[in-house]
């Protein structure tokens, strides 16, 4: 269990975020078209998993927009934004912000992701949503970079995540 904060108040996650060097577990999530999507769909590519509570918050929106901009210039890298947002809402967000380099995936049908990756919030007002975290996976799904953002209202370390994916 990790302790993070929401506006300074302690909250907890179920487990701990994957560590650098760990093999990312397979997952099943729901894509914008309501189809089930697994990690294997992105085989052979590096992946940035931008995990957040909801695209309907300012910090989550900012992280999606910043990573979307940066990924446009990277070859063989896919940006996966993972949250509990309904696929319709995530798709609408991407369309309204002209985000073309992002794959939105929802945990709404597959909550095991939050447990398996150690990011589901277990208490406080955001219980059941994902914490803010970034994982960079290599083409073989090994964790190259991991950040559990300590304060939900704080942006992730973009430079460190992008440096890891460029290795």
φ/ψ (deg, to 5) at 49: -100, 105
- State the catalytic residue, choosing from 11, 60, 71, 135: 60
Q: Which two tokens stand for residue 9?
A: 């108040």
**Is 153:9 a contact under the CB 8 Å cutoff?**
no
Q: Which two tokens stand for residue 147?
A: 């950040």
Is residue 94 part of the annotated active site? The answer reads no
DSSP string, 67-113: HHHHHTT-TTEEEEEEESS-HHHHHHHHHHTT--S-EEEE-SS-THH
Radius of gyration of the chain (CA): 14
Q: Which residues contact 93 (CB under 8 A, 6 or more apart)?
A: 55, 56, 61, 64, 85, 99, 104
| Catalytic center residues | 60
């Amino acid at each position: 269990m990790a302790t993070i904060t929401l506006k300074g108040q302690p909250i907890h996650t179920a487990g701990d975020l994957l560590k650098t060097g760990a093999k990312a577990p397979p997952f099943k999530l729901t894509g914008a078209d309501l189809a089930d999507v697994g990690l294997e769909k992105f085989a052979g590519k590096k992946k940035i998993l931008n995990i957040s509570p909801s695209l309907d918050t300012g910090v989550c929106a900012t992280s999606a927009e910043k990573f979307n901009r940066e990924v446009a210039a990277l070859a063989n890298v896919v940006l996966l934004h993972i949250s509990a947002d309904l696929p319709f809402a995530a798709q609408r967000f991407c369309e309204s912000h002209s985000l073309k380099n992002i794959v939105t995936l929802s945990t709404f049908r597959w909550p095991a992701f939050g447990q398996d990756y150690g990011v589901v919030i277990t208490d406080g007002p955001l219980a059941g949503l994902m914490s803010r975290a970034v994982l960079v996976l290599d083409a073989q799904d090994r964790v190259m970079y991991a950040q559990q953002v300590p304060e939900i209202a704080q942006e992730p370390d973009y430079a460190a995540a992008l440096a890891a994916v460029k290795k």
